[in-house]
């Protein structure tokens, strides 16, 4: 397969998750109980399975930002032989912010507008072969996700569903595009 920069389907899910604010996700986790930075990272990676794992540095930076904005506070600092461990808790203001964020809808952005659509927009009918290969890649990824669902945790199944439905939307768009190109070809 001529691998001329096919946007990987995996990249796709990552894009989706990045759009969500990491800060708000951490706030949501803190709302359940006060946690250490390391616990938060573990919890995040498990809940948002399929997304890119959070770097420890990013957790730390985010927590500091939350603290600066008054959404989180240090509940306790302990040092028992090992490294210093700071327990973070959510503030009243943080709860309000979380509430606000949960109530805000995401702009219904056309995720397809990434590399997939751009290629077809530029190449027009010449994108036919690319679309067929892209379709194959999408399907392969959908098969993987479906197989993962069989043995995954509930959180992983939800994440896989999210990815599957979006890939399916792409696929349907690809199939419609292929059909349209064929129709135009028949008329020409």
**Which residues would be at the binding site for other proteins (CB under 8 A)?**
132, 135-136, 138-139, 142-143, 145-146, 150, 164-165, 167-168, 171-172, 175, 179
Nearest-angstrom CA–CA distance, 9 and 4: 14
User: How do the residues of the chain divide into helix, strand and coil, expressed in percent and rounded to 5?
Assistant: 70, 10, 20
Nearest-angstrom CA–CA distance, 58 and 52: 12
The least distance separating other proteins from the CB of residue 13, rounded to whole angstroms, comes to 15
Nearest-angstrom CA–CA distance, 87 and 94: 16
Looking at the Cβ atoms of 42 and 135, the one nearer to other proteins is 135
Looking at the Cβ atoms of 69 and 175, the one nearer to other proteins is 175
Q: Coil, strand or helix: which one is 168? A: helix
The least distance separating other proteins from the CB of residue 127, rounded to whole angstroms, comes to 15
Looking at the Cβ atoms of 46 and 146, the one nearer to other proteins is 146
The least distance separating other proteins from the CB of residue 142, rounded to whole angstroms, comes to 4
């Amino acid at each position: 397969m001529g691998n001329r920069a096919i946007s990987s389907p995996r990249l796709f899910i990552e894009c989706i998750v990045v759009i969500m604010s990491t800060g708000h996700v951490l706030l949501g986790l803190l709302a359940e109980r006060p946690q250490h930075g390391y616990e938060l990272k573990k919890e995040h990676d498990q809940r948002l399975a399929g997304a890119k794992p959070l770097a420890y540095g990013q957790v730390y930076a985010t927590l500091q930002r939350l603290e600066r904005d008054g959404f989180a506070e240090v509940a306790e600092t302990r040092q028992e032989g090992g490294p210093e461990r700071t327990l973070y808790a959510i503030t009243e203001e943080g709860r309000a912010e979380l509430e606000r964020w949960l109530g805000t809808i995401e702009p219904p952005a056309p995720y397809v507008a990434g590399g997939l659509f751009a290629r077809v927009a530029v190449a027009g009918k010449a994108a036919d072969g690319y679309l067929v290969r892209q379709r194959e890649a999408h399907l392969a990824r959908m098969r993987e996700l479906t197989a993962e669902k069989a043995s995954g945790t509930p959180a992983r199944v939800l994440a896989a569903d999210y990815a599957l439905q979006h890939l399916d939307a792409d696929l349907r768009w690809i199939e419609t595009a292929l059909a349209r190109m064929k129709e135009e070809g028949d008329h020409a």
